[in-house]
Amino acid sequence: MDTQNVKVSKSPEVILTEAAKPAILAVQLNANVPLSLVRGKLCKKYLSLSFMLQCIMHIFFISSMIYMGLNSEKISNFHVHYSSTEYLLMKIVGPINILFAAFSRLYGFSNRHATLQFWKSNVAILDSFLRDSPTQAVSTLEKRLARIRTSLRNYFATLLVLIICTHFTAHYFYRGFYPDFPGDLNLSFHFAMLATLSQAAHGIWLSFFLKYYTVLFESIQQRLRILNQSFSEINLNTIESLNISGDGRIEAELNASYNLFIKVRSQVQDFCSHFQINLLTDSFLSSFHVIFCIFICLRWLMESEFETKRIGSLSLLLQAVTFGKLIYYLGTDGSRLQYAASKISEELHDLYNKTGSRLSFRCRQTLQIFLMKISTNPPVVDVAQFFIIDRQWISGVRF
């Protein structure tokens, strides 16, 4: 099995940056994290902080939200067409949107240096994989990372269409109900609503890392599968234990795969720790928006008094889909990460069934420790020990 160093045409950071480009663009546009792509020596791109970009975006978003908050009484005068229940919900939703959107951006700004360090640790892990993996595994790894970019680009494009449609239907709704809406409040309303909707784009940034770790686990599984395929039952029946352990191929590959697994699992734990606040706020805000929008949408669809409310119900439905996609994608990515890690366990069991009695004690011990680490402490997206992000988190049912 060829485990020699593999030469790649691009540096690890360039490869990872290209895969994450749609996610980086998403957090740039919604001003969550002040990141930018910078050209360094030899025209290589790397990720850096952009203080000016963050300041400009904060001026637009946060000032608009604060202005809307200060003029909430003036805005409430236009809510004469709402029922008492709808009016109460609108009074609750407005401040929540303003607080969460402003908090998310200020938190991202204050945590910018830690985010950059977190990014560099992810680059270091990719470098380890590119250096220590066999040629076939490296080639597959690069293709899978390229597919991540395609997946994120499609997610970003869909989200952008949803945000634009939601924004214009909401604008039509407000202009239909309130033709005399003041111009300054109208402009602030546009920026504040855009800031709230674009919060869903932060899910693309989180989704990238979950997809990235899944690909790394799949890469470990692939190299173990290659190891399994290199030892057929026929060959093993004619080889003594001393020859297998003396060759050292299994032991060396197990140690390399085990070390890579520990690195990725540790990085998943760092992801949960670094994005703990973001995962909590995004989960709460998205769930709250989905429930609120569906509730008001159903009320308005059942009313026939105002045709404009039907346009408003469409806007609310689009908002529910926008934030619902964030929940769905994060839950799906979390489940896929767990599944990829479980497949490593299957390959290890298969290897043990083929070679277990013929391995040296040290090699069997490495294999058993590897299996124990996966079974007793599997990689999961654990959010502050409150909940685990997977598809069961979406449905609210855990078996």
Task: Give the pLDDT confidence of 225-247 residue by residue, as tens digits.
Answer: 887 777 654 455 554 444 444 45
Q: Which two tokens stand for residue 55?
A: 């300041």
pLDDT at residue 241, rounded to an integer: 47
pLDDT at residue 208, rounded to an integer: 93
On whether residue 125 sits in a domain, the answer given is yes
CA atoms within 13 A on the CB side of 346: 11
Range of the domain at 249: 12-395
On whether residue 2 sits in a domain, the answer given is no
Q: Which two tokens stand for residue 20?
A: 């994450």
Task: Assess whether pLDDT exceeds 80 at residue 207.
Answer: yes
Contact 313, 169 (CB under 8 A): no
How are beta strands 382-383 and 35-39 bridged, if at all? unpaired
On whether residue 230 sits in a domain, the answer given is yes
pLDDT at residue 246, rounded to an integer: 42
Cα-based distances in Å from 222 to 3, 227, 361:
13, 9, 25
On whether residue 79 sits in a domain, the answer given is yes
Nearest Cα residue to 332 out of 214, 157, 197? 214
pTM, to two decimals? 0.84
pLDDT at residue 353, rounded to an integer: 78
Nearest Cα residue to 176 out of 255, 262, 78? 78
Mean pLDDT of 361-382: 83
Q: Which two tokens stand for residue 51?
A: 């203080």
pLDDT at residue 125, rounded to an integer: 92
H or E element, residue 48: strand 45-49
On whether residue 7 sits in a domain, the answer given is no
In this structure, how many other beta carbons lie within 10 angstroms of the beta carbon of residue 47?
Answer: 20
Q: Which of 41-55, 268-282, 312-326, 383-397 has the highest mean pLDDT?
A: 268-282
Task: Assess whether pLDDT exceeds 50 at residue 43.
Answer: no
Give dist(CA 213, CA 227) in Å, integer: 21
pLDDT at residue 40, rounded to an integer: 47
Q: Which of 29-33, 49-53, 57-61, 145-149 has the highest mean pLDDT?
A: 145-149
Mean pLDDT of 310-334: 84
Mean pLDDT of 250-272: 88
**Whole-number percent of the chain with pLDDT over 90:** 13
On whether residue 5 sits in a domain, the answer given is no
Mean pLDDT of the chain: 76
Helix H segments across the chain? 12-19, 21-29, 51-70, 72-76, 84-110, 112-132, 135-177, 183-197, 202-229, 233-237, 241-247, 249-274, 276-301, 307-355, 361-376, 391-395
Query: Who contacts 314 (Cβ-Cβ below 8 Å, separation ≥6)?
Result: 169
Q: Which two tokens stand for residue 229?
A: 């395929």
Query: Who contacts 84 (Cβ-Cβ below 8 Å, separation ≥6)?
Result: none
On whether residue 291 sits in a domain, the answer given is yes
Give dist(CA 37, CA 44) in Å, integer: 10
47 φ/ψ angles, rounded to the nearest 5 degrees: -90, 135
If you count them, how many residues does the chain have? 399
Give dist(CA 285, CA 279) in Å, integer: 10
Q: What is the largest CA-CA distance in the chain?
A: 89
pLDDT at residue 215, rounded to an integer: 94
Task: Assess whether pLDDT exceeds 60 at residue 257.
Answer: yes
Q: Which of 67-81, 193-207, 269-283 has the highest mean pLDDT?
A: 269-283
Top-confidence residue, 191 or 349? 349
Give dist(CA 189, CA 75) in Å, integer: 10
On whether residue 3 sits in a domain, the answer given is no
Q: Which of 181-195, 294-308, 314-328, 335-349 has the highest mean pLDDT?
A: 335-349
pLDDT at residue 335, rounded to an integer: 92
**Whole-number percent of the chain with pLDDT over 70:** 66
Q: In total, how many domains does the chain have?
A: 1
Task: Assess whether pLDDT exceeds 80 at residue 159.
Answer: yes
Q: Exposed, middle or buried: residue 265 (CB in 10 Å: 0-12, 13-18, 19+)?
A: buried
What pLDDT band is residue 349 in, cutting at 50, 70 and 90? confident
What pLDDT band is residue 52 in, cutting at 50, 70 and 90? low
